[in-house]
Structure 1
Amino acid sequence: MRLTAKSSQAVVWLLALTPGLLALLFLNPSDFSSPGAVLNLLGRLTGIWGMALLLVAAGLCCRVPGFDRPFGGLTKLWQLHHRLGAVAFLLLLLHPLLLAFSAASISLPAAVQTLFSDRSAVIWGWVALLALMIFMAPSFSFFGEAEYQRWKFVHRLAGVTVVLGLVHTLLLSRTLPGAWGPVIWGLWAAAALFAISYRWVFSRWRGRQPYRLVAIDRPARNVVELSLEPRAAALRYDPGQFVYLTPTDPQLSAGRGEEHPYTLSSAPGERLLRIAIKDLGDASRALQTLTLDTEVRIEGPYGRFFPSPEAPPEPELWIAGGIGITPFLSRLRHCARTGEALNAHLIYCVQDETRVLFGEELRQLEAQLPESRITLHYFYREGPLEREFIERACSDAAQRFAYLCGPLPLIDRARGQLQGLGVPRARIVTEEFVLL
């Protein structure tokens, strides 16, 4: 039985909550004998659940190709990872406070001693919590938008807090009785260690496939489409998936050795791998100057934008903005190449006629796919995308499954307009790269 995205997330949350649920089985009447005892119980439970959520969140960072698909793609998986981490962070902040309030029912010195004990277990706990606060701070919007590479570097150090937190947990040896503690924490820690090891050792050195740049097309002034030839086994992927690209060209002004996610624009089965890249920052700007025959490394594929080939076909509505045309271009190329039937209506949103990417090819693909249609939306003439425009362009939009890809403001607006037309949120699929 294939898991849905919701059931996959439910399984992850259940794994994260299991240690705390087990602890509930070993409660005794003394845990409820006084308000201080209840606070002590809550303090222990927040520590158990916070540590378990942190371990499970670490386990989701493995980035094994295909592992993300049951969750709806890597973006959705990382969003789950962030939610687990945020809840863990809040629980671990509450953990020492609740224990201190519990001790305060005895005396104020007891509360101070609970918080600032010179016991090694307590010291390791504070070191872990302070490190977690430092390493997770860039993940919260309160501190402003994070620079991508700086965020990745700082965030990966959060793995250190998992180790420190485990030291604190095992030294106290009172989270779960008997052998339950070492067994549960050992299993959850082993899973997290495997994920981290895969992510930073195996995938970094063996999971990246070498490709050679053999052609560069320039569909617009600030956009390139790189054609890459495999130097070993060719990547197998579905339309709409993305990869991490790592350039190795020593002449690059920025981004050398840095990985960044890019959606594939080629069709599965093509000899060459094609990736369309827009100048959106230092790294993507530098890639506009890549020289032929240089080598890049490709890791993936990731994502699950379109339905699986086994799913029954149904009419689709696509809304793209700017470089967000790439997953739809890949699907159109694939269907035209294979003769696969496609009933899709694409609304392509751009500023003006000069910003249309792959315009001539899109017209040719539309002609090859009689059940599909492409409508251009020009912001300078139409203004922001409105539901009236969607209805005029595609009269049965409310009955179609919707796929959105483009800048976040466009995705948010398009989602709102579609929901206003009566499209259920469950029938709206989005693809956006937010700190992957």
Structure 2
Amino acid sequence: MSAKPVTLAAASGLGARLLLLAAVLTVIGAPLIVLAGEQAPPYSPEWWRAAGRSVGMAAALCLAVQFAIASRCRLLDRFAGLDRLFLGHRAFGIAAALLALSHPFIIFYPEEVGLGAPAISQWPLVAGATALTMLWGLAAVARWRAWLELPFHLWLPAHRLAALGLALVVGLHASFVGGPFKAADLALPLIAAVYLLLRFAPRPLHCRVKSVTPLGGEAHEIVLAPESGPVFDHAPGQFAFLTLQSPALPREEHPFTIASAPGEDALRFTIRCSGDYTARLGALSPGDTTFVRGPYGRFSHLVRGAPPADELLFLAGGVGITPMLSMLRHMAASAHAGPEAAKRHVTLIWCNRTPEDVVHAEEIGTLAATLPGFRLHHVFTRGPSTARLDGPGLASLITEVPRQARCFVCGPPPFMAFCRDALLREGFAPSRIHLEEFAL
């Protein structure tokens, strides 16, 4: 192992909250400041038109935030974590749709507007109506894509292309407006161009499938080897976007956690069947080409400023073990294993349906036997040794874990919500609880 693992800056949760708060304040504050500078008497027709333009400006700023998040900017990821920022992606999209819908009603509130399609000579209105229709179409299709049964590999590129078209139409509509409103809305196409630059300029890592190994519980381990050069540096627990080029799979890009330790000469991913796409991963063949973009995320114990002897508590649900597996593999392979490793205590509570669903069981058992201070607790929810991880059950398993320990939770959303609430009740501070919250 030659690559040096990335060390992440501290306070990722705070960074994400501050960044999203700054975006919200900008969306709300900038239009209000511009509106306050208007000379029109309050509630006059001119004032209502200015208020409507302010709402339109807020909608454009929400769309700008959307492009910034979707660009996967490495700087934003390092500061706040892409997984956390994507939680705000849907919220800003909904806000943009609602603000854009109210924009024309507020502008024309004091006037009598007849129904009917605007004439082509009224091109600003045509552009505005087109932008509003495109925005609501994008939001509706994204919300009900599963119900519409749209294939992901067709929907995602269409969604991105339509969003770029929306930015251009908004810029055309805004060219009719004057003052700071025009400047704010015309900035949207520029931000869309920056999105394209950030999103596609960094070249992905070209890899080939080295092996595909079936595991328990309908899971597979996929090993990817770079076509040339080393694997990129990454922190244990981070994820990457994979585009698998195989006749057996649609050409889609999906995020998966890197299960290998930093410094290995290949990337390992443990993926469980959870949908149409992942159900076909077993059909991959050695030699298939794969494009890897990453690494991303901040779900890692390697946080700058954390002492090496920090107590760690891992709670995994099913294949949610993958980021913890990367961390454990790194600990086992770490060059300073010995005195420092002996001081670290790691408690892993791993929930699966049955013992047959446990992936990498032999390796996890070896790690439990060789890593000093490693405690492993299996919880099976089905079968002869059925148990339930409820509040008292979890409390009984963490009696020896100090409340200053850093807790990492990964699994299905209900599992993570339960663990977070239970840990808070047991006295763990919110800043010590880290959830793998990525959702695309």
Q: TM-score, normalised by structure 1?
A: 0.86
Matched, 1:270 2:264: yes
Question: Residues of 2 paired with 1:95 and 1:143: CA distance?
Answer: 30
Q: How many angstroms apart in 2 are the aligned matches of 1:151 and 1:142?
A: 8
Residue 152 of structure 1 deviates from its aligned partner by: 2.0
Shift of 1:400: 2.8
Tell me: CA distance 1:214–1:150, structure 2 relative to 1, closer, same or farther (3 Å): closer
Retained in 2: the 8 A contact 1:242–1:301?
Answer: yes
The answer to which of 271-280 and 328-337 deviates more is: 271-280
2:215 paired residue among 219, 222, 231: 219
Q: Deviations over 1:284-343 (max 9, x none)?
A: 222212112222111111111024442223322211111111000000000110026343
In structure 2, the residue matched to 1:388 is 392
Partner letter of residue 368 of structure 1? Answer: T
Cα distance in structure 1, aligned partners of 2:417 and 2:158: 29
Deviations 1:223-263 (A, max 9, x none): 1112222112322111111111111123x1x33x2211111
Q: 1:298 to 1:408 in 2, by over 3 A?
A: same
Are 1:58 and 1:196, in contact at CA under 8 Å, matched by a contact in 2? no
CA offset at residue 69 of structure 1? 2.9
Q: 2:96 aligns with which of 69, 85, 88?
A: 88
Match of 1:332 among 328, 331, 337: 328
Give the distance between the partners of 2:430 and 2:110, measured in 1 at CA.
44
Aligned residue among 239, 243, 246 for 2:240: 243
| Corresponding residue for residue 202 of structure 1 | 201
Shift of 1:167: 1.2
Contact 2:60 2:188 in 1 (8 A): no
Name the SS of the counterpart of 1:101 in structure 2.
coil
1:122 to 111, 125, 133: 125
1:45 aligns with 2:54: yes
- Output the TM-score relative to the length of structure 2: 0.85
1:361 corresponding residue in structure 2: 363
Report what 1:306 is aligned to: 300
Letter in 1 for 2:210: V
- Give the C-alpha shift of residue 424 in structure 1: 3.9
Distance change in 2, residues 1:133/1:187 (3 Å) = closer
> Following superposition of structure 1 onto structure 2, how do residues 154-303 of structure 1 map, counting pairs within 5 Å?
154-156=158-160, 157-171=162-176, 173-174=177-178, 177=179, 180-181=180-181, 183-199=183-199, 201-203=200-202, 207-220=203-216, 222-233=218-229, 234-250=231-247, 252=248, 254-255=249-250, 257-303=251-297
Relative to structure 1, is the Cα distance of residues 146 and 334 closer, same or farther in structure 2, using a 3 angstrom cutoff? Answer: farther
d(CA) in 2 for partners of 1:387 and 1:399?
19
Residue 365 of structure 1: CA displacement? 1.0
Q: Which residue of 2 aligns with 1:11?
A: 22
Between 1 and 2, higher relative CO (CA 8 Å, sep ≥ 6) is seen in 2
SS in 1 for 2:140: helix
Q: CA deviation at 1:182?
A: 5.3
Preserved CA contact (<8 Å) 1:385 1:413: no
Which residue does the alignment assign to 1:54?
Answer: 63
**What amino acid does structure 1 have at the position aligned with 2:49?**
N
Cα distance, 1:398–1:321 mapped onto 2, change above 3 Å: same
Name the stretch that deviates more: 55-64 or 392-401: 392-401
Distance 2:88 2:330 in 1: 31
Match runs of 1:389-408 below 5 Å: 389-395=393-399, 396=401, 398-408=403-413
Partner Cα separation in structure 2 for residue 245 and residue 92 of structure 1: 34
Q: Residue 217 of structure 1 aligns to a residue in which SS?
A: strand
Gapped runs of 5+ residues in structure 1? 104-109
Residue 111 of structure 1 is matched in structure 2 by 113
Q: For residues 326-368 of structure 1, what are the alpha-carbon distances to aligned partners after superposition, in whole Å with 9 as ceiling and x for unaligned?
A: 0000000001100263432111000111111111211211222
Which stretch shifts more, 259-268 or 188-197? Answer: 188-197
The DSSP-based 3-state class of the residue aligned with 2:137 is helix
Pairing 1:98–2:98 present? no
Q: Which amino acid aligns with 2:246?
A: D
C-alpha spacing 1:32/1:352, structure 2 compared with 1 (3 Å)? same
CA distance in 1, matches of 2:30, 2:165: 21
CA distance in 1, matches of 2:388, 2:153: 32
Q: Which moved more, 1:38-47 or 1:300-309?
A: 38-47
Which whole-Å CA distance do the structure 1 matches of 2:255 and 2:149 have between them? Answer: 16
* 1:114-170 deviations in Å (ceiling 9; x for gaps): x96432111110110011111111333798597644542443222322221121111
Task: Indicate which of 363, 376, 379 corresponds to 2:378.
Answer: 376
**Correspondence for 2:433:** 428
The two structures, once aligned, show a CA RMSD in angstroms of: 2.7
